[in-house]
């Protein structure tokens, strides 16, 4: 699949902790995620803050992982934190973004290998693998069951190659932590 000309997602790599970091490095920050949390609990645990750059561009930074949020979410939803597959071997991170496009251009090239309808959701879930030879990173993409304007993306694994990261965007983007937290969406359109 080709990269969109005007992706609705925007990650400014200048905001990463070091300039050589890739988007996947960003996603795998600080030892996150824990091995056996549900997707929704993982996403609920993410907090994002907004950061500006000297050239006027915008970006989002993941700022904290709140285990209390995870526990609260699991308790509220009756989620069994131990039922997830993977046995702690996977390196997975999930987040939710507001976008008309389902495919975030993260600099890597993905090959779609599956599509499944999801129970209690009108939207199908799409499965992608990194098309780079020998790289086994997978990505799941699905729309929020309650608000189709949000896209839930889950990465699993770590790339064993460099990303030709370089993207741009003119459209606004919202990062919206889900779960019991009452935090509002964080909008990149906010004045910096």
Binding site for DNA (CB under 7 A): 1-2, 80, 83, 85, 109-120, 125, 127, 131, 138, 140
The answer to whether the beta carbons of residues 173 and 11 sit under 8 Å apart is no
Alpha-carbon distance 129 to 50, whole Å? 29
Q: Which CA distances in Å does 83 have to 39, 43, 88?
A: 11, 17, 11
CB of 168 to DNA, least distance (A): 21
Quote the least distance from Cβ 111 to DNA, whole Å.
4
Residues sharing a CB contact under 8 Å with residue 182, sequence separation 6 or more, in sequence order: none
> Minimum Å distance from CB 154 to DNA?
8
Least distance between DNA and beta carbon 84 (Å): 8
Give whichever of 53 and 114 is closer to DNA, judged by the CB atom: 114
Identify whether the C-beta of residue 109 lies closer than 8 Å to the C-beta of residue 128. Answer: no
User: Closest CB to DNA among 2 and 191?
Assistant: 2
Q: What whole-number distance in Å separates Cα of residue 99 and Cα of residue 185?
A: 13
Question: Which residue lies nearer to DNA by CB, 30 or 131?
Answer: 131
Give the DSSP H or E segment for 95.
strand 92-98
CB of 142 to DNA, least distance (A): 8
Handedness of CA 78, 98, 135, 111 (dihedral sign): positive
Measured from the CB atom, the residue of 5 and 119 that comes closer to DNA is 119
CB nearer to DNA: pick between 77 and 125 = 125
């Amino acid at each position: 699949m080709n990269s969109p000309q005007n992706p609705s997602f925007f990650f400014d790599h200048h905001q990463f902790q070091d300039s050589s970091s890739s988007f996947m490095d960003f996603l795998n920050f600080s030892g996150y995620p824990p091995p056996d949390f549900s997707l929704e609990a993982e996403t609920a645990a993410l907090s994002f803050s907004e950061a500006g750059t000297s050239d006027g561009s915008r970006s989002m930074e993941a700022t904290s992982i709140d285990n209390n949020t995870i526990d609260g979410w699991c308790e509220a939803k009756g989620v069994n934190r131990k039922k997830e597959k993977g046995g702690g071997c996977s390196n997975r991170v999930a987040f939710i973004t507001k976008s008309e496009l389902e495919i975030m251009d993260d600099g890597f090239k993905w090959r779609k290998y599956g599509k499944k309808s999801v129970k209690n959701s009108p939207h199908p879930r799409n499965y992608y693998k990194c098309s780079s030879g020998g790289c086994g990173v997978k990505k799941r993409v699905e729309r929020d069951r309650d608000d189709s304007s949000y896209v839930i993306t889950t990465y699993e694994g770590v790339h064993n190659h460099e990303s030709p990261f370089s993207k741009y965007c003119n459209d606004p983007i919202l990062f919206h932590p889900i779960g019991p937290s009452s935090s509002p969406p964080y909008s990149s359109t906010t004045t910096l």
